[in-house]
Chains A and B, each alone.
Chain A
């Protein structure tokens, strides 16, 4: 079985500060990992994914994520957060034709 865990329900940061949203995963076989963002009353939007290769993956809106196989982690990062980054973020792992999501982390960036 595959699963992801997002240990923080909420993350609060000041605008301009670094933002990190944590994710750990469990999967047999190759880990295919994704981050999605959901703005209020909207569907989920794809941010980035790790399939293979470089452990640092760059995605949309200045976000990046670091894959760490030994720690089974795939943390989402942004060097300088914006108020407009306030949203619900989901980590997900893909396997056996299914995408399994974490519970989500609400990010609030204060001006």
Chain B
């Protein structure tokens, strides 16, 4: 059981470039989310989805887009990369969009924007 799979693990971009971070889960989870982790700031929610076709903004959504066409996949798009988006990105999922379930995390994608 692979769980939550993120690709790529590492990426270097130039300012202004666009890219997509991929996230796939094989646990049939309805809820998926993207976080960014920065030193001293914990994890901050970027976007989340409670099911296919439904997405919503989190705490820091600016500069990012998401879509949820299938239950399994939840890609995160950087429209025009900026140095402030240098971070480690985590995708996470759980079985339902309730407040009581625990999240399952991917291994992370480290992004550097020059």
Contact = CB atoms under 8 A, between A and B. Distances in A.
The number of chain A residues touching the other chain, given as a range, is 20 to 34
A90 B42 contact: yes
B102 A34 contact: yes
Contact of B107 (A9, A32, A43): A43
Contacts, number: 59
Contacts of B50: 97
Interface in A27-48: 32, 34, 36, 41-46
A95 B42 contact: no
Interface of B: 4, 31, 33, 35, 40-45, 48, 50, 56, 58-59, 90, 92, 97, 99-100, 102-108
Contact of B103 (A51, A95, A99, A104): A99
A95 B45 CA distance: 13
Contacts of B45: 98-100
Nearest to A102: B42
Nearest to A34: B102
A43 B106 contact: yes
Given A100-B45, A102-B42, A103-B42, A94 B99 contact: yes
B12 to A, nearest CB: 17
Q: Which of B4, B35, B43 has the most CB of A within 10 A?
A: B43
A97 B90 contact: no
Interface in A65-111: 90, 94-104
A32 to B, nearest CB: 5
